[in-house]
């Protein structure tokens, strides 16, 4: 059975998953790289970006689950890029260069559809104006029986959690107080009742939590 | 050197340390006992309330640090009781019965001072309208060289953290999404820079974090 999964999604102690003021130079706003520093150190991340090296400890073991059996990704427009409103720069094709690490169809949720963009390595970005349910239907069709990953950002994950469409959620609590940005948990009171939850703290200081549908 | 300490202070994933709607029957509002369930199971808590039994695992080991070398406590009025505004029920002497578990002077922060109340077992409640700095000065004087505990609730701890008066903070992340209540972290952006932080997850599913001044 095809599952809907979230992986390697960092949250601060005060519940923010991205900082304030995203821009081309600051994809995570004032948060900088602090939310994802644990992930950037892993061999999983290095492999995704065809760099050598990277740590192979417990953070890496947890991060590696990101890749298996994924047939499509859904992401919000703010994960795709810093533009808002009607597209003015059609040359923009994400933060990830000519060969993005997805290697599947990626459905970008936007109120401003535009033609699909085919990248190297099997990634194709589709731009759709759709509810979570409709986006998932299209992603499942593209995934050919494999799982669908919800890639973020926080608004997108929150909408899919609110619609009870997520089967597996891996979040990482990073011990920082961001103060401002985009909150993950708003409107999700009682979320824990729908999942089995496990937690583990690693030597990097973060706490990985998995929420799995029973 | 006398330190200022916080212990066994639970926070939900979305940063709430108490629920909405505190009352005589619901000291933690709609959160019920979920934030403190891990603590109520411990032998430390049982001992505090002169009950037998209680678990003696890692949660208990962490919780036990609550008691050592404390000469006075400071708490907010909402930890002391559910009354707001001018005191109408002078018979109210806290949630803890005739022999509260503090056994020291306890300074209750309130805009409505009233005469001190001496309890069994060495606890005396003093009611003071004071800034964090002034309350700490009085508590240190009463503590006779021992440490001062800031007992909560979230507003009080937040004010002492904002004033940079806390040397040791133990919080416990409980994997629930409360949705509403009193937030701990508001206004504390960048708090992590002032502390060394350690984390450990225990089999009960909570994550204990200590923030210690270097």
A34/chain B closest Cα distance in angstroms = 11
Q: Please write the tens of the pLDDT for every residue from B152-174.
A: 999 999 999 999 999 999 999 99
Q: Do A177 and B190 touch (CB under 8 A)?
A: yes
Phi-psi region of B180 (alpha: psi -120 to 50; beta: other; left: phi over 0): beta
Which chain A residue has its CA at the smallest distance from B19's CA? A189
Which residue's structure tokens are 């009352």? B23
Q: Which residue in the set A176, A179, A188 is minimally distant from B177, CB to CB?
A: A188
The pLDDT score that the predictor gives to residue A131 is 98
Q: Do B199 and A205 touch (CB under 8 A)?
A: yes
Q: Which residue in the set B15, B177, B205 is minimally distant from A13, CB to CB?
A: B15
How many of the other CB atoms lie within 10 Å of CB of A133? 10
Instruction: Supply φ then ψ for residue B55, to 5 degrees.
Output: -75, 145
Closest CA to A7 of A213, A208, A214, A164: A208
Q: Please write the tens of the pLDDT for every residue from A43-80.
A: 999 999 989 999 999 999 999 999 999 999 999 999 99
Contacts of A52 (CB under 8 A, 6+ apart): A46
Percentage of chain B exceeding pLDDT 90 = 93
Contacts of A88 (CB under 8 A, 6+ apart): none
pLDDT band, very low/low/confident/very high, at B86 (cuts 50, 70, 90): very high
Given a cut of 90, is residue B66 above it in pLDDT?
A: yes
Give B136-197 as a DSSP string. HHHHHHHHTTSEEEEEE-HHHHHHHHHTT--SEEEEEEES----SSEESSTT-TTGGGGSEE
Which chain A residue has its CA at the smallest distance from B183's CA? A14
- 3-class DSSP assignment, residue B29: helix
The pLDDT score that the predictor gives to residue A21 is 92
Q: How far apart are CA B19 and CA B16, in angstroms?
A: 7
- Chain A neighbors of B197, CB-CB under 8 A: 175, 205
B183/chain A closest Cα distance in angstroms = 9
Q: Determine which of B16, B190, B201 to mutate to test the interface with A (most A C-beta atoms within 10 Å).
A: B201
The predicted model gives B120-139 an average pLDDT of 97
- 3-class DSSP assignment, residue A29: helix
The pLDDT score that the predictor gives to residue A73 is 98
* Per-residue tokens: A211: 């929420």
Query: Is-contact A142 A105, C-beta < 8 A?
Result: yes
Which residue's structure tokens are 């740590």? A55
Q: How far apart are CA B62 and CA B170, in angstroms?
A: 9
- Chain B neighbors of A191, CB-CB under 8 A: 177
Closest CA to B43 of B62, B24, B16: B62
Q: Determine which of B11, B15, B19 to mutate to test the interface with A (most A C-beta atoms within 10 Å).
A: B15
State the complex-level ipTM: 0.94
Q: How far apart are CA B58 and CA A169, in angstroms?
A: 27
pLDDT band, very low/low/confident/very high, at A144 (cuts 50, 70, 90): very high
- Chain A neighbors of B176, CB-CB under 8 A: 190, 192
Query: Is-contact B148 B70, C-beta < 8 A?
Result: yes
Residues of B with CB under 8 A from a CB of A: 11, 13-15, 173, 175-180, 183, 185-192, 197-201, 205-207, 209
Given a cut of 90, is residue A1 above it in pLDDT?
A: no
Which chain A residue has its CA at the smallest distance from B173's CA? A13
pLDDT band, very low/low/confident/very high, at A95 (cuts 50, 70, 90): very high
Q: Do B187 and A198 touch (CB under 8 A)?
A: no
Q: Do A188 and B14 touch (CB under 8 A)?
A: yes
Q: Which residue in the set B180, B186, B192 is minimally distant from A175, CB to CB?
A: B192
Which chain B residue has its CA at the smallest distance from A183's CA? B14
Q: How far apart are CA B47 and CA B101, in angstroms?
A: 9
- Chain B neighbors of A186, CB-CB under 8 A: 14
Query: Is-contact B202 B59, C-beta < 8 A?
Result: yes
Q: Please write the tens of the pLDDT for every residue from A20-31.
A: 998 888 989 999
- Chain B neighbors of A190, CB-CB under 8 A: 176-177, 179
> A151-181 as b/e, with b when 16 or more CB fall inside 10 Å?
bbbbbbbbbbbeeebbbbbbbbbbbbbbbeb
The predicted model gives B8-35 an average pLDDT of 94
Q: How far apart are CA B158 and CA B147, in angstroms?
A: 19
Q: Count chain A–chain B contacts defined by CB atoms under 8 A.
A: 78
Contacts of A3 (CB under 8 A, 6+ apart): A147, A148, A167, A168
Q: Are strands B207-212 and B196-201 parallel, antiparallel or unpaired?
A: antiparallel
B154/chain A closest Cα distance in angstroms = 13
Helix axes of A154-162 and A132-143: crossing angle, nearest 10 degrees: 100
For the domain covering A4-83+100-212, report its CATH number.
3.40.430.10
Which residue's structure tokens are 């590696």? A64
Q: Please write the tens of the pLDDT for every residue from B133-156.
A: 999 999 999 999 999 999 999 999
Q: Do A205 and B187 touch (CB under 8 A)?
A: no
The pLDDT score that the predictor gives to residue A24 is 86
The predicted model gives A152-162 an average pLDDT of 97
A201/chain B closest Cα distance in angstroms = 6
For the domain covering B4-86+98-212, report its CATH number.
3.40.430.10
Given a cut of 90, is residue B193 above it in pLDDT?
A: yes
Phi-psi region of B41 (alpha: psi -120 to 50; beta: other; left: phi over 0): alpha
- Chain B neighbors of A13, CB-CB under 8 A: 11, 15, 173, 185
* Cα B179–Cα B181–Cα B186 angle in degrees, nearest 5: 95
Ranges B13-17, B26-30, B42-46, B54-58: which has the least confidence: B26-30
The predicted model gives A76-98 an average pLDDT of 91
The pLDDT score that the predictor gives to residue B132 is 98
Closest CA to A174 of A146, A199, A205: A205
Q: Please write the tens of the pLDDT for every residue from A99-139.
A: 999 999 999 999 999 999 999 999 999 999 999 999 999 99
Q: Do B201 and A207 touch (CB under 8 A)?
A: yes
* Cα B125–Cα B153–Cα B106 angle in degrees, nearest 5: 15
Which residue's structure tokens are 């002077």? B105
Query: Is-contact B186 B194, C-beta < 8 A?
Result: no
Which chain B residue has its CA at the smallest distance from A186's CA? B179
Helix axes of B154-162 and B132-143: crossing angle, nearest 10 degrees: 100
């Amino acid at each position: 059975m095809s599952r809907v999964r979230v992986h390697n999604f960092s949250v601060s102690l005060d519940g923010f998953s991205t900082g304030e003021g995203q821009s081309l130079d600051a994809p995570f706003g004032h948060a900088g790289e602090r939310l994802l520093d644990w992930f950037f150190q892993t061999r999983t991340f290095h492999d995704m970006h065809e760099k050598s090296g990277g740590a192979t400890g417990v953070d890496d073991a947890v991060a590696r689950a990101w890749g298996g059996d994924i047939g499509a990704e859904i992401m919000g427009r703010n994960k795709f890029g810093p533009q808002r409103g009607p597209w003015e720069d059609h040359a923009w094709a994400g933060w990830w260069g000519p060969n993005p690490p997805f290697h599947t169809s990626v459905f970008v949720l936007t109120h401003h559809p535009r033609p699909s963009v085919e990248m190297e390595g099997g990634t194709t970005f589709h731009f759709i104006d759709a509810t979570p349910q409709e986006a998932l239907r299209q992603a499942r069709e593209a995934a050919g029986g494999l799982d669908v990953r919800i890639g973020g950002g926080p608004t997108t994950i929150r909408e899919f959690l609110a619609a009870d469409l997520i089967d597996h959620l891996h979040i990482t609590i990073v011990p920082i107080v961001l103060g401002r940005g985009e909150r993950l948990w708003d409107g999700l009171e009682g979320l824990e009742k729908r999942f089995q939850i496990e937690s583990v703290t690693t030597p990097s200081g973060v706490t990985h939590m998995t929420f799995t549908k029973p």
